Chains A and B, each alone.
Chain A
């Protein structure tokens, strides 16, 4: 109760800050100087009708590179965190290692070991309970599938619930559309609302639908990792090309700018956008797959 009162006071104070900010806020009626600069210069210098893409990929291109690096690190760290363990021994070893690393008392490792043992015992009990529960569910599943006269392919799919007919058929209809739409959003990033990140997220949502409709499917994570690594390498190479041939790192003007609004225009921006789309799509798919285990 005490904690709730403290939290209420804190939220109230935040509310006061926010209220002051809303009270002092006046809606702008003209662009700020920097924004005015971007809005007037982007169509002329870069040839992008979509000024936000121009800012993201060129004026703030370094930020975008950092963002992609963050996404890469997240994919890597999620993979590290959700890596399958060999067994209970490795977990116990890790926990005792952690405690010895602190170099406190000699009693601690023993404590940790007993703790780990207790945790292992609890886990074994939970696993037993789980196993019995699973036996029940597989039993009901078997009954259900027998009633539906639907043959169960193997034991792995039997323990999971099969996706319904609607999900499977809907996926077959929607999946090509989702991937096409994702590709469209990626390559139209310099002309209209869209770009690499948005399109990549759409592609990854398609991958998620695919994994939902076929739970037994294995995603080729190794291939996806190679694809995204090469996309990242090419992205940096394009940045260096900009440094050599044009004004600076990630300057897309080493390719002809073309006419404003044409599909092939805006220098290297569509290429960078496509690379970003591939990279983000592959990375998000890998993250989704890691969480599936």
Chain B
């Protein structure tokens, strides 16, 4: 099935759509857990965008084996740099999510609620 759009453009649109959903979720929900979920969705969307920018028309994974000889690689391999950066980005996203969840647990222990409206001390 062909859709006319190149595959990386479809991936870009999907990623940006996920990022928008995440931003919407983060800003409209008042429950801290939902805000964290919104962040995770936005993060995933941006990872998709980063991976998509590395795609090269009719390219393949930059792993040399029987199907991809070293002489062939410069013409057929996709850009490996965004993929390598996304590995880092995923780990950092996981770290940020873990710290946010730990803070959520602490906040719940302090006020017995997860609604962000209950935490007014640091509101200016």
Report A's interface with B, CB cutoff 8 A.
Answer: 3-4, 7, 10-11, 14-15, 18-19, 21-22, 25, 27-32, 34-36, 38-40, 43-44, 49-52, 55-56, 60, 63-64, 67, 70-71, 73-74, 77-78, 81-82, 91, 95, 119, 122-123, 126, 192-193, 195, 197-198, 260-261, 287, 290-291
Contact = CB atoms under 8 A, between A and B. Distances in A.
Given A11-B23, A29-B56, A260-B70, A56 B101 contact: no
Question: Chain B interface mostly helix, strand, loop or mixed?
Answer: helix
B102 A82 contact: yes
Given A22-B16, A29-B57, A44-B70, 19 more contacts: A7-B27, A10-B23, A11-B27, A14-B20, A18-B19, A18-B20, A21-B12, A25-B9, A27-B56, A28-B57, A30-B75, A39-B77, A49-B64, A52-B84, A64-B88, A73-B95, A74-B95, A81-B102, A287-B98
A72 B26 CA distance: 27
Contact of B95 (A10, A43, A44, A70): A70
Contacts of B105: 81-82, 291
Given A7-B27, A261-B65, A40 B57 contact: no
A260 B71 CA distance: 13
Interface residues of B, number: 49
Given A31-B79, A35-B79, A123-B112, A70 B92 contact: yes
Contact residues of A: prevailing secondary structure: helix
B63 A74 contact: no
